[in-house]
Structure 1
Amino acid sequence: MTIRRTQPTTRAWLGAVFIAFILSGFGLSSWVARIPAVRDDLQLSTGSVGLVILGLSIGSIAGLTMANPIVTWLGAGRAMGAALVVAGAGLAIVGAGSVSSPAVVVVGLFVFGFGQGSCDVIMNLEGALVEREIGRTMLPLMHASFSLGTVTGAVAGAAASKLGIPVLWHLGAVAVLLVVVMPIAARFVARRAVPEAPSMTWKDKTRSAIRAWIEARVLLIGIVMLGMSFAEGSASDWLALASVDGHGLTNTAGAIVFGVFVSAMTIGRIAGGPLIDKFGRVPVLRVSAATAMVGLAAFIFSPWPAVAVAAVVPWGLGTALGFPVGMSAAADDPQKAAARVSAVATMGYLAFLAGPPLIGLIGAHIGLLNALILVLALVVAAGLAAPAARRPESLKA
């Protein structure tokens, strides 16, 4: 049964989801912008940084896996608020580890990743509900708010780096922000926008989830999300460092380059909804993949730092819509949306989370720029799989 919502309740619910996206992006980019500083403070090699980041990936995958049980237990709003409180606690631990040991950073990143991963699933599923209820393409705009959060976090991180603010105090302040603000916003979701759970047994849900993983269209949408998420995740964890080590920029300049990337993603996501409604998902995804390929190739192969910095703009624009469009496409059929969204989200998140440590391990042997060639190949695969995002004829109005 679908819960009827009055217009004020819908606005409050929508606002809470947007706040979750913004804070999630702000927290993530706050960590990313300080990776070079943490590397320097702890005197880590590139390979060691990759292993440290693995803590974030493992924690995020655990959070992704546990998101649905947590929602069932707490309700969507409380679960979303609790997830970002856990993420804030993780950032505080990372800050403490930056002045003590890599092991503490790994623990902090695991806790941070658990909170981020579970929150990502919850807020995207809530976003799919918003999109269906309003009847317009909304997920790109929601992901734009995530990117807005990452832009703000990147700017704050660059400023903290420039001013010489220790990682401990910087990430501690971000942790306080997450812990204080999100539970307040989440109250609106918890009390006014928790959808009633479908009357399915656990056996039925398990069978539906397994069936989704063998559907050809779901797998192809997953490839789109895998390639684009890999490109986004690799930039999130390695762009600042690749700019420093591969193109000779300073730590502060590396943080600024990451800010340019997330700014481009934000613009792409703000413009994405109207473009998709006008031209359709498939043409927009094809152009997006081609744009990302141009940006990645220029960043990897250009010998001129200025060209490499400019290249992150098409890289960011091109990867902006892969994840939100994939989520929308997977949710086309309301009766099968939960299982399909879960399947494609898992593919996208696994690429986003597991890809960066892989890039680090490869980069330790052949250099970060050369390791990014793998990302370029996966973006090509995403472009080839784009037709799967077309809405099935049987579901068209």
Structure 2
Amino acid sequence: MDSALTRSQFVRWRAAIFAIFLASGLSIATWASRVPDIKIALDIDKAQVGLLLLAAGIASIIGISTSPAMMARTGARRGMLVMMLIFGVGVALIGLGTNVFGSVPMVILGLAMFGYGNGNLDVMMNVEATAIEQQMGKTILPVFHAFFSLGTVLGAGAGALAVAIGADVAAHGVTMGAVIIIAAVVCYLNVPNRDAALDPEPQEKPHWRERMHVAMSAWREPRTYALGVVMLGMSFAEGGANDWLALGTAEDHGAGPAAGAAALAVFSVAMTVVRVFGGPLVDRFGRVLVLRILAVTAAGGILLFILAPNTPLVFVAAALWGIGASLGFPLGMSAAADDPAKAAARVSAAATIGYIAFLGGPPVLGFIANHVGLLNTLYVLVVLAVLSGLFSGAARPLRQDEMTPSR
């Protein structure tokens, strides 16, 4: 049984999950910020760098896909600890493989651990964050995702600092890996055991097969797939911007690399600001209306980006694109958690759909872009954003009679 938490215990739990989101973002930016140095140190070409990225992406998707089973086996609390330890070691191995051993296979192993651990953690930390949101009774999940974005900013800043002071990838990777491992242990000690997250005390825990049945139950519910469409559209929009917005600005709009980086920064800042401050708007106007307005904003922003005749309008488009893509994923998570008794299973399923779209979408867009051009390819994102808006009714809060009766 879940025990009632004191105010102090709840605050420590919430702070721990904030820190876990931040650590995930930090790990991603740690690796991404040193890709140029890794390429030089290992003496590999761009195609081989692409294979490294592919290894991390495949491992992430495997981690996301197996997370419900892992959580059924370990529970979210212990699972988050294990996964943070795995990707913390992975970050360190990337550094050691780059400079100490000069070993591409070791770097690939590190990236596989990094991707698998982060993929699993993505689902588990969202299960915990939605539980906190349910207990608070107000929309706060977007703030957790803003902490992830903050982690990427801090990681990128640390990477730039490491380059500036001449720290090699090994020193940087081992240091950040140690920080993540320490954070994992501290956070674990401050996250409570919860039946809903499949991690009660061992003597109370049902058989693994029963927990696995619960974990997979959401895949038999039509609402899961409707929410999946909402999250898929916005995940494609976010992932597509992260990978292609800068290139589209620099090359297809002819604005140059500096403008491309600036446009991506505008997108990221716009998205982060809405995630930090958008919760009260959701509580005031409701998920469905907000999601529909944001879907229109995202579709309009992407259309403007495709058709913009000058650079200033490209930057306006990037801001609208970021605003529109900001809340689809976290609000889909919130909707999946409406019924506390089934929150873990439903959030796991929704997160799996969203993250696979986030990771798998950009490569698909790249393949299409090779045939029809990047700007024409972005019409796919417009269609998906519109579909996200059309399916937003699935995010309507459940009525009391639609929830699992309490025992």
TM class by shorter-chain length? 0.7 to 0.9
Residue in structure 2 matching 1:143, options 132, 142, 145: 145
Establish whether residue 111 from structure 1 lines up as the match of residue 110 from structure 2: no
Distance change >3 Å, CA 176–CA 76, structure 1 → 2: same
Shift of 1:5: 0.9
Residue 194 of structure 1 aligns to a residue whose secondary structure is: coil
The alpha-carbon distance between structure 1 residues 250 and 80, as it changes in their structure 2 partners (threshold 3 A), is farther
Counterpart mapping for 1:1-397 below 5 A: 1-32=1-32, 42-44=44-46, 51-68=51-68, 70-71=70-71, 76-95=76-95, 106-156=108-158, 171=173, 173-189=175-191, 193-196=192-195, 197=198, 201-247=207-253, 254-394=260-400
Q: Distance in 2 between matches of 1:112 and 1:238?
A: 23
Closer, same or farther: CA 36–68 of 1 in aligned 2, 3 Å: same
Q: CA, structure 1 residues 343+83, in 2 after alignment: closer, same or farther (shift >3 Å)? A: same
Report the Cα offset of residue 367 of structure 1: 4.2
User: Aligned partners of 2:280, 2:81: CA distance in 1, in Å?
Assistant: 30
Contact 1:37/1:251, CA 8 A, preserved across alignment: no
1:213 counterpart SS class: helix
Q: Which piece of structure 1 moves more, 282-291 or 26-35? A: 26-35
Distance 2:399 2:91 in 1: 46
SS of 2:86's equivalent?
Answer: helix
In structure 2, relative to structure 1, the CA distance for the partners of 1:353 and 1:329 (3 Å cut) is same
> Separation in 1 of the partners of 2:150 and 2:193?
26
* Larger Rg, first or second structure (1 or 2): 2
The 1:313/1:395 distance shift into structure 2, 3 A limit, reads farther
Q: Structure 1 vs Structure 2: percent identity of aligned residues?
A: 43
CA drift at 1:152: 3.0
TM-score (norm 2): 0.82
Q: Aligned residues, how many?
A: 392
Range 32-41 or range 6-15, more displaced: 32-41
Q: Which amino acid aligns with 1:110?
A: A
Q: 1:34 to 1:307 in 2, by over 3 A?
A: farther
Residue 126 of structure 1 aligns to a residue in which SS? Answer: helix
1:184–1:392 CA distance, 2 compared to 1 (3 A) = closer
Q: CA deviation at 1:302?
A: 2.9
> Aligned equivalents of 2:251 and 2:59: distance in 1?
27
Decide whether aligned partners of structure 1 residues 363 and 67 sit closer, same or farther in structure 2, where only a CA change above 3 A counts.
same
Aligned with 2:138: secondary structure? Answer: coil
After superposition, the Cα gap between the structure-2 partners of 1:391 and 1:344, relative to the gap in structure 1 and judged at 3 Å, is same
Alpha-carbon distance, 1:6 to partner: 0.9
Work out whether residues 225 and 323 of structure 1, in 8 Å CA contact, stay in contact via their aligned partners in 2: yes
Gap change, CA 1:131 and 1:116, over 3 Å in 2: same
CA separation of 1:184 and 1:37: change in aligned 2, threshold 3 A: same
Counterpart contact for 2:134–2:338, Cα < 8 Å: no
The change in CA–CA distance for 1:97 and 1:250 in structure 2 (over 3 A counts) is farther
- Take 2:103 and 2:377, find their aligned partners in 1: how far apart are those partners? 27
User: How far 1:215 moved relative to its partner?
Assistant: 2.3
Query: Secondary structure, in 3 states, of the residue corresponding to 2:115?
Result: helix
- Residue range with higher mean Cα deviation, 205-214 or 179-188: 205-214
Gap change, CA 1:314 and 1:334, over 3 Å in 2: same
Partners of 1:142 and 1:128 in 2: how far apart?
A: 10
Provide the rounded CA distance (Å) in 2 between the counterparts of 1:279 and 1:301.
32
| In 1: Cα distance, 2:34 partner to 2:317 partner | 22
**Kept after mapping to 2: 8 A contact 1:50/1:361:** no
C-alpha distance in 1 between matches for 2:231 and 2:250: 28
State the AA in 2 paired with 1:357. Answer: P
Q: Deviations over 1:16-38 (max 9, x none)?
A: 00001112122223444556776
The 10-residue stretch of structure 1 (205-214 or 126-135) with the greater mean CA deviation from structure 2: 205-214
SS in 2 for 1:392: coil
Give yes or no for contact 2:29–2:155 (8 Å, CA) kept in 1. yes
Give me the whole-angstrom Cα distance separating, in 2, the residues matched to 1:30 and 1:365: 33
Q: Deviations over 1:235-287 (max 9, x none)?
A: 33444444444455666665554333322221111122111110000010011
Distance (Å, rounded) in 1 between the aligned partners of 2:163 and 2:146 = 25
Q: State the Cα RMSD in Å.
A: 3.4
Give the TM-score taking structure 1 as reference length.
0.84
Structure 2 runs not aligned, ≥5 long: none
Aligned residues of 1:19 and 1:182 also touching (Cα < 8 A)? no
